[in-house]
Structures are given as structure tokens and as C-alpha cells.
């Protein structure tokens, strides 16, 4: 759906993440948890995202979004737990093996320890930008996909192993999870004219996104804690398994 269509369909209610992840002034609000991500650290990728974010921010309707801090830019490999999320502790969104009465600190330790036991793919996984994502859920991101079928299979298998290790195999949305890099969250609705103009800018960028955003190679996954969407604090890195060395 276009921004104009979403504004028409949902404009009679507040944006989904307003006063949940950001306030109307664009200040981040507490929304804590744990996750496994790869931060965007290579210079070419950061330059590309900076250009895309800047062009969207100054587009008509761009001031309706709260843009995330550059130091927070990342691709989520496996989403962990959101402590403030309105989910049923003990349901499919909660890990089997973790008490429903666990404190936030206990939940963080459980998830980080379990995820750390799973080695990531041994070969490189390169991502390419395919367009934009998130508007339907009142966000704004760059949609990403692995560069090859083999890399797609490798990272999907890795996610499956992480789901098994954390007891989140039944979590809804796992199989069809869309890789992305979040740029912003909607905090107010645009005018009809601004929404249409924003769609035009976004369509122009989407048509050229493969040239603007070069393929990039994921580094080692990073297990992170966060208090809000503008900072993901690395707790540890997870290194791939090494191939066995033949005995001499």
C-alpha cells in the first residue's frame, strides 16, 4: 500500500508506534529488550542509507516520521523479546523453558545465553536492497534480501536453529520474516497532498535503490540489549564455526 492509501485507511487513529517507541517530537521512548543484529558499519552502506534517509526526511510528509539515529542502523538477524510488548507470557511469543514470571534481566540473560550457543553460517551472507518496507505497520525501512539462493538458505536455517535454541519455534511470523533496516517510525499523519508527494519521492528512490545501496556483507552477528530504538548495545559477538583442521 502507498502512504496515501495507508493514511486514508488508518488516519482516524493514532500511528501505531506513537507514544510507544517515539513521541510527537521524535524523541525515543523506553521500549527495551534483547535481539541479534548486524549493525551497518561499512562506509559505502552507511553513505547510501544516509542519502536515502536524508532525501525521505526532506520530502513532503517526511516530517511525519521520527528517524532513527545513524548509530542504531542495523539488520535484525533474529528478533528477541520486547519487554514492554503486549504479548501473552506463556503464549507463542514467549520462549518455552523461560518462566512467565521471569524478570526483564532474567529474560535477557536467558535469550543471550541461548542465542550464543548457535554458530552462524560459516560463509559470508551478503544483503541487497530491494525497495522499501514497513509503511503498512506505520514504519519506514529498507527491504533487504540475501544476494544468492544459497545465502538465503543459510541465514534462514540459522534463524531456524536460533528459534529452536530459544524455544520460539511456534512464534508467529518466523518463517516469512522479512529482512530490513529500519529508518523511521510514523508519529503523525500527513495531508493528502503530502502523502501523495512522499509516495512519488519514495517510488523514485525505490527505482534506483539497487544503485544507491550497494550489496554489503554481514559481519559477525551481535547479541544486543536496548532501552529504545536509537541504541543497540552489543553484549557479545557470535563467531562462526571453524572447519576442522586435518591432523598432520
Instruction: Confirm if 29 and 228 have CB atoms less than 8 A apart.
Output: yes
Beta-bridge mates of residue 22: 18, 28
Q: How far is CA 38 from CA 123, 125, 183, 217, 223, in A?
A: 15, 11, 15, 10, 9
pLDDT in tens, 79-98: 999 998 756 787 889 999 99
Instruction: Measure the CA–CA gap between 99 and 63, rounded to whole angstroms.
Output: 42
Q: Which helix (H) or strand (E) holds 228?
A: strand 222-228
**How high is the pLDDT of residue 241?**
62
**How high is the pLDDT of residue 248?**
35
Domains, the chain: 3-82+93-231 (3.90.1140.10)
**How high is the pLDDT of residue 201?**
97
pLDDT in tens, 147-203: 999 999 999 999 999 999 999 999 999 999 999 999 999 999 999 999 999 999 999
Q: Could you tell me the pLDDT band of residue 52, with boundaries at 50, 70 and 90? A: very high
pLDDT in tens, 61-82: 999 999 999 999 999 999 999 9
Which residue, among 100, 98, 94, 101, has the nearest Cα to 110 in the 3D structure?
A: 98
Q: Please name the residues in contact with 233: beta carbons below 8 A apart, sequence gap of 6 or more.
A: 224, 225, 226
pLDDT in tens, 220-232: 789 999 999 999 9
- Model pTM? 0.92
Q: Has residue 245 got a pLDDT over 50?
A: no
**How high is the pLDDT of residue 84?**
82
**How high is the pLDDT of residue 31?**
94
Mean pLDDT, all residues of the chain: 91
Instruction: Measure the CA–CA gap between 54 and 40, rounded to whole angstroms.
Output: 17
Q: Has residue 246 got a pLDDT over 50?
A: no
Q: Could you tell me the pLDDT band of residue 43, with boundaries at 50, 70 and 90? A: confident
Instruction: Measure the CA–CA gap between 188 and 62, rounded to whole angstroms.
Output: 10
Q: Could you tell me the pLDDT band of residue 107, with boundaries at 50, 70 and 90? A: very high
Instruction: Measure the CA–CA gap between 220 and 75, rounded to whole angstroms.
Output: 12
pLDDT in tens, 231-244: 999 998 787 765 44
Amino acid at each position: 500500500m502507498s502512504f496515501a492509501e495507508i493514511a486514508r485507511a488508518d488516519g482516524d487513529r493514532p500511528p501505531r508506534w506513537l507514544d510507544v517507541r517515539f513521541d510527537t517530537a521524535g524523541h525515543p521512548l523506553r521500549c527495551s529488550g534483547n535481539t541479534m543484529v548486524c549493525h551497518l558499519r561499512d562506509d559505502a552502506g552507511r553513505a547510501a542509507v544516509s542519502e536515502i534517509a536524508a532525501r525521505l526526511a526532506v520530502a513532503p510528509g517526511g516530517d511525519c516520521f521520527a528517524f532513527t539515529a545513524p548509530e542504531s542502523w542495523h539488520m535484525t538477524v533474529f528478533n528477541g523479546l520486547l519487554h514492554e510488548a503486549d504479548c501473552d507470557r506463556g503464549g507463542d511469543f514467549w520462549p518455552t523453558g523461560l518462566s512467565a514470571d521471569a524478570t526483564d534481566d532474567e529474560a535477557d540473560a536467558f535469550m543471550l545465553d541461548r542465542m550464543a550457543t548457535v554458530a552462524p553460517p560459516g560463509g559470508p551472507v551478503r544483503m541487497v536492497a530491494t525497495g522499501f518496507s514497513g509503511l503498512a505497520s506505520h514504519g519506514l525501512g529498507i527491504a533487504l534480501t540475501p544476494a544468492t539462493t544459497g545465502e538465503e538458505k543459510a541465514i534462514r536455517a540459522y534463524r531456524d536453529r536460533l528459534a529452536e535454541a530459544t524455544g520460539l519455534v511456534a512464534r508467529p511470523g518466523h518463517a516469512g520474516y522479512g529482512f530490513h533496516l529500519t529508518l523511521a517510525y510514523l508519529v503523525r499523519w500527513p495531508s493528502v497532498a503530502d502523502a501523495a508527494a512522499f509516495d512519488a519521492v519514495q517510488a523514485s528512490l525505490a527505482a534506483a535503490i539497487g544503485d544507491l545501496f550497494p550489496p554489503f556483507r554481514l559481519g559477525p552477528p551481535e547479541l544486543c540489549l536496548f532501552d529504545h530504538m536509537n541504541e543497540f548495545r552489543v553484549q557479545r559477538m557470535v563467531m562462526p564455526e571453524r572447519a576442522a583442521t586435518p591432523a598432520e
